[in-house]
Amino acid sequence: MNVANSEGYTTADGRKIGGVLMEMKNITLRFGGVKAITDISFDIREGEIRAIIGPNGAGKSSMLNVISGFYVPQEGEVWFKGYKRGPMKPYQVARLGIARTFQNIALFDGMSVLDNIMTGRLTMMKSGLLSQALWWGGAQREETEHREKVEKIIDFLEIQPIRKTPVGRLPYGLKKRVELARALAAEPKLLLLDEPMAGMNVEEKEDMSRFILDVNDEFGTTIALIEHDMGVVMDLSDRVVVMDYGKKIGDGTPDEVRNNQDVIDAYLGVAHD
């Protein structure tokens, strides 16, 4: 397969992958004197599932935070949809169409599942402050429209029974699913998942894998995910970036990465628990 081709490529299972959606060019991120990321470049193509893997402390989460605007790299360029992205606040990045989930789950615990997912559509609601305050004109109709979209996502992720439950009361696995639902509600161009399977049992992992594949399939959403579980990553993703100590040591299809000697040394070759 020719990944370098700017027209995209076709995956082993026959899905068409498009052009470059996001490109990271020579990203370097420092915290004081510590380099979290050193000169890393890679791209994410339209419609693909891209994984970023690496041992603990490799800088995976930092990379995700750079993509989503939570960290601003000292060096390098971030390109999205063919434009160079200036330094942006996370909420501005979100409005560009990049949604994310968090490793440690960041939901609004006091709010119901439905309200949590509705926040995902906030940036798409256009009615102004006055109209909203007086519940006037478009505000009500808009609410109904967005509510319908959200109900579809709820159906899709099979969380109908917990729609009205306050999120704080849900078990871990379901919280992860609600977080995914909230990110999906924003109809993102690029969906970032920070360890979507961390801390889950086998059954929950299988469910989550299925949802990730379905999302990609159904909505054509481009997905970039960070994951520890090697098996899961290899099954899910089209291409994989491997990081170690803040450097990129491998990039390619799961098979290519699996046979890369650097990767084996750094990650797979080491006995891990």
Partner 1 sequence: MPDQLLFAMEVTLNGLMAGVMYSLVALGFVLIFKASGIFNYAQGVLALFAALTLVGFQNGQIPFAHLINAIFGTNLHEFGWHLPAVVAIALTGAVMVLLAIIIEKFVLKHLVNQAPIILFMATIGMAYFLEGLGDIMWGADIKKLDVGLPQGISETVESVTDSLFGYGFFIDNLDIVATVVAALLVLSLTLFSQYTKYGRALRAVADDHQAALSVGISLRFIWVLVWSIAGVVALVAGIMWGSKSGVQFSLSLIALKALPVLMLGGFTSIPGAIVGGLIIGVGEKLFEFLVGPMIGGATENWFAYVLALLFLVFRPQGLFGEKIIERV
Phi, psi angles (nearest 5°) of residue 38 = -120, 110
Q: Give the residue, chosen from 11, 28, 38, 123, that forms a contact with partner 1 under the rule CB under 8 A.
A: 123
190 binds partner 1 (CB under 8 A): no
112 binds partner 1 (CB under 8 A): no
Q: Using CB under 8 A as the criterion, what x/- string covers residues 21-50 for binding partner 1?
A: ------------------------------
Burial (0-12, 13-18, 19+ Cβ within 10 Å), 182 = buried
Q: For the chain, state the CA radius of gyration.
A: 19
Q: Using CB under 8 A as the criterion, what x/- string covers residues 58-97 for binding partner 1?
A: ----------x-x------------------xxxx-xx--
Shortest gap between Cβ of 110 and partner 1 (angstroms)? 5
Judged by CB under 8 A, the stretch of 104-112, 211-219, 229-237, 249-257 that binds partner 1 is 104-112
Number of residues that bind partner 1 (CB under 8 A): 34
Judged by CB under 8 A, the stretch of 9-17, 130-138, 244-252, 263-271 that binds partner 1 is 130-138
Q: Using CB under 8 A as the criterion, what x/- string covers residues 137-176 for binding partner 1?
A: --x---x---------------------------------
107 binds partner 1 (CB under 8 A): yes
Give me the residues that bind partner 1 (CB under 8 A), please: 68, 70, 89-92, 94-95, 99-100, 102, 106-111, 115, 118-120, 122-123, 125, 127, 129, 132-133, 135, 139, 143, 182-183, 186
